[in-house]
């Protein structure tokens, strides 16, 4: 299942730091997000552009996870030649991530 099927994202960036919040459509699905979308998995997803591992913060009251990405200096918004290196572009990459929760009937 793609994350976009159970969550939406908001993002922002400033220089080499990007924040991506992953928010469950249904707060009842938050435990699944917290279980399956780890800092390690997000670090692996974005490994080519990271200067260090992703930091993850949990916001259970909002049914959300917040990820902080520290990009390498060559990957900042103002220095990269990549198309749409902005945080919102990266949030779509996260939403396209596959998670193995198909058999879990807890999904709202």
| Residue pLDDT, tens place only, 51-79 | 999 999 999 999 999 999 998 777 666 55
Q: Give residue-wise pLDDT tens across range 11-67.
A: 988 878 899 999 999 999 999 999 999 999 999 999 988 999 999 999 999 999 999
Band (pLDDT 50/70/90 cuts) for residue 82 is low
**What span, in angstroms and rounded, lies between the C-alpha atoms of 51 and 56?**
15
DSSP letter at 42? H
Indicate yes or no: pTM above 0.85. no
Q: What are the Cα distances from residue 10, in Å, to 34, 59, 82?
A: 17, 14, 20
Tokens 């996870």 appear where? 65
Q: Which domains does the chain have, with CATH numbers?
A: 3-95 (3.30.70)
């Amino acid at each position: 299942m793609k994350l976009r099927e159970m969550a939406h994202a908001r993002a922002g960036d400033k220089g080499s730091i990007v924040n991506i919040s992953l928010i469950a459509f249904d707060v009842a699905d938050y435990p699944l997000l917290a279980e399956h979308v780890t800092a390690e998995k997000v670090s692996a997803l974005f490994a080519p552009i990271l200067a260090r591992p992703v930091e993850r913060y949990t916001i259970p009251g909002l049914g959300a996870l917040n990820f902080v990405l520290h990009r390498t200096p060559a990957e900042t918004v103002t220095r990269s030649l990549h198309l749409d290196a902005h945080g919102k572009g990266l949030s779509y990459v996260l939403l396209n991530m596959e998670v193995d929760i198909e058999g879990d009937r807890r999904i709202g």
